[in-house]
């Protein structure tokens, strides 16, 4: 940027030199001024300012000069002559150079993020249709579309960075990410940084933006009469590690054992796609995922021939955008932006792109999970 300014300045200087050479001195002519009035005003401004700034030589001359200078200066201020030694204040802008009108909530973005123009998003990008990569490797889904709409309000770009789901909160604590968007259920444990009643680290704040339940699914045509979690006793289920599905499977297994029905064998994977692959190959009796993910897998995997959903959804809860408790300003900015896109319709459009309208929220809550 500084280099371009220097080049521009050099070109302007050269242009003025060439202007002086266009008419020979012997011609007796001078190039006409583009705006004689502007030049006159500039000269008057300079002379007036010089007069006003000239040191006093004698009391009488000082009073006369001061009165004259003030009279002329006052008139010129009204006609556009001001202090030309001060630079004009820049127009308010978002971090990407947009004006406040182009990004209406740009002023809410924390300065360190606005300076970069980017919000780093930690996400497990393997959870279609919430976030995943298409055939061209582009990150797509409900979360990226919502993030894009939020970015328009805030004047920043949301950049998704892939990570293992069960390591995302740790990455947020380490400041590798500014926030998390990864179909993450807002729970008290995550808010408080606890696990099985034990403190494991700093908690996070959630801006809740979607509602999802937990579903069961089986290989198509092989339901084995599984209609609820109680029917899983003595069977094998596949889940993604660190999810609500994994927690439910563990709790249900303990319940089955107490009832003398045989524990559930729970096989946990790093990604939900790995769990689906295991079930598809016949390595388990059932799988469990969040409701929008199950619905998408049932509809698309194998052209709709791999899986079928069984039973009713359970444990409906909010997805939240997770933000460090030390970054309250960012939490407020995301909250305001989410309210804005719900009001202007961009939020519903993002959900409709992926058939996710059923989980839409109408109001925005902070830490609304239990």
In this structure, the strands spanning 286-290 and 236-240 are parallel
Non-local CB neighbours of 120 within 8 Å, separated by 6+ positions? 159, 161, 176, 177, 178, 179
- Inform me whether the pLDDT recorded for 267 exceeds 90: yes
pLDDT in tens, 4-50: 333 333 333 333 333 333 333 333 444 444 444 444 444 334 444 34
- CA distances 321 to 4, 137, 190, 202, 366, Å, are 41, 23, 12, 16, 10
Q: Name the pLDDT band for 223 (thresholds 50, 70, 90).
A: very high
- Inform me whether the pLDDT recorded for 156 exceeds 90: yes
- Inform me whether the pLDDT recorded for 67 exceeds 70: no
Q: What does the buried/exposed string (b/e) look like for 276-309 if buried means 16 or more CB atoms within 10 Å of the residue's CB?
A: bebbbeeebbbbbbbbbbbbbbbeebeeeebbeb
The verdict on domain 106-211+318-366 having CATH code 3.40.50.800 is no
- What mean pLDDT value characterizes the chain? 81
What confidence score (pLDDT) does residue 27 get? 38
The mean pLDDT value for 342-364 works out to: 97
Tokens 């002519």, residue? Answer: 29
The closest alpha carbon to 191, from 203, 178, 173, belongs to 203
Helices 59-78 + 36-53 axis angle, to 10: 140
- Inform me whether the pLDDT recorded for 251 exceeds 80: yes
The closest alpha carbon to 370, from 244, 188, 189, 206, belongs to 188
Question: What is the signed CA dihedral for 290, 296, 299, 304, rounded to 10 degrees?
Answer: -80
The span from the CA of 330 to the CA of 322, in Å, is 11
Straight-line distance from the first to the last Cα atom of the chain, in angstroms, rounded to the nearest whole number: 50
- Inform me whether the pLDDT recorded for 92 exceeds 80: no
What confidence score (pLDDT) does residue 196 get? 85
- CA distances 316 to 24, 98, 358, Å, are 86, 39, 12
The span from the CA of 128 to the CA of 296, in Å, is 7
Q: Give 325-365 as a DSSP string.
A: TT-HHHHHHHHHHHHHHHHHSHHHHHHHTTT-GGG--SS-E
Let me know: does 52 contact 69? Beta carbons within 8 Å.
yes
- Inform me whether the pLDDT recorded for 121 exceeds 90: yes
What confidence score (pLDDT) does residue 51 get? 40
- Inform me whether the pLDDT recorded for 93 exceeds 80: no
The span from the CA of 128 to the CA of 119, in Å, is 22
Let me know: does 370 contact 315? Beta carbons within 8 Å.
no
Instruction: State the pTM of this model.
Output: 0.72
Q: Give 196-237 as a DSSP string.
A: TTEE-S--EEEEEEEEEEEEEEEETT--TT--SGGGGTTSEE
213-316, CATH topology level: D-Maltodextrin-Binding Protein; domain 2 (3.40.190)
Q: 207 forms bridges with which residues in the sheet?
A: 321, 366
**What is the location of CATH 3.40.190.10 in the chain?**
106-211+318-366, 213-316
Query: If 0-12 CB within 10 Å is exposed, 13-18 middle and 19+ buried, where does residue 220 land?
Result: middle
The span from the CA of 8 to the CA of 14, in Å, is 10
Let me know: does 269 contact 275? Beta carbons within 8 Å.
yes
Q: Name the pLDDT band for 52 (thresholds 50, 70, 90).
A: very low
- Inform me whether the pLDDT recorded for 82 exceeds 90: no
Let me know: does 224 contact 218? Beta carbons within 8 Å.
yes
């Amino acid at each position: 940027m500084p280099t371009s300014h220097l080049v521009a300045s050099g070109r302007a200087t050269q242009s003025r030199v060439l202007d002086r050479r266009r008419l020979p001195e012997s011609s007796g002519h001078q190039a006409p001024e583009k705006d004689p009035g502007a030049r006159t005003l500039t000269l008057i401004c300079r002379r007036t300012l010089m007069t006003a700034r000239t040191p006093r030589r004698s009391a009488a001359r000082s009073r006369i000069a001061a009165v004259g200078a003030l009279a002329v200066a006052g008139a010129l201020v009204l006609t556009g002559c001001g202090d030309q030694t001060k630079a004009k204040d820049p127009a308010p802008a978002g971090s990407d150079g947009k004006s406040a009108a182009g990004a209406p909530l740009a002023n809410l973005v924390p300065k360190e993020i606005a300076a970069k123009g980017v919000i780093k998003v930690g996400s497990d990008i393997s959870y279609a249709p919430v976030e995943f990569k298409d055939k061209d490797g582009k990150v797509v889904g409900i979360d990226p579309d919502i993030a894009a709409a939020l970015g328009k309000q805030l004047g920043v770009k949301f950049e998704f960075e892939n990570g293992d789901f069960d390591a995302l909160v740790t990455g947020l604590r380490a400041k590798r990410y500014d926030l998390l968007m990864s179909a993450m259920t807002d729970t008290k444990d995550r808010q408080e940084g606890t696990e099985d009643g034990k403190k494991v680290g700093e908690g996070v704040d959630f801006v809740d933006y979607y509602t999802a339940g937990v579903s069961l699914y089986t290989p198509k045509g092989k339901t084995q009469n599984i209609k609820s979690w109680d029917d899983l006793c003595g069977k094998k289920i596949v889940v993604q590690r660190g999810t609500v599905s994994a927690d439910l499977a563990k709790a249900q297994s303990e319940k089955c054992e107490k009832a003398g029905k045989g524990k559930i064998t729970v096989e946990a994977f790093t990604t939900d796609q790995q769990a689906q692959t295991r079930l598809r190959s016949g390595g388990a009796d059932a799988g469990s995922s969040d409701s929008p993910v199950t619905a998408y897998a049932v509809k698309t995997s194998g052209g709709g021939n791999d899986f079928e959903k069984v039973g009713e959804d359970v444990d409906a809860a909010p997805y939240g955008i997770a933000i460090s408790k030390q970054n309250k300003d960012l939490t407020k900015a995301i909250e305001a932006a989410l309210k804005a896109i719900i009001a202007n319709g961009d939020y519903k459009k993002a959900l409709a792109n992926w058939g996710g309208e059923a989980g839409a929220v109408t109001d925005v809550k902070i830490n609304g999970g239990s």
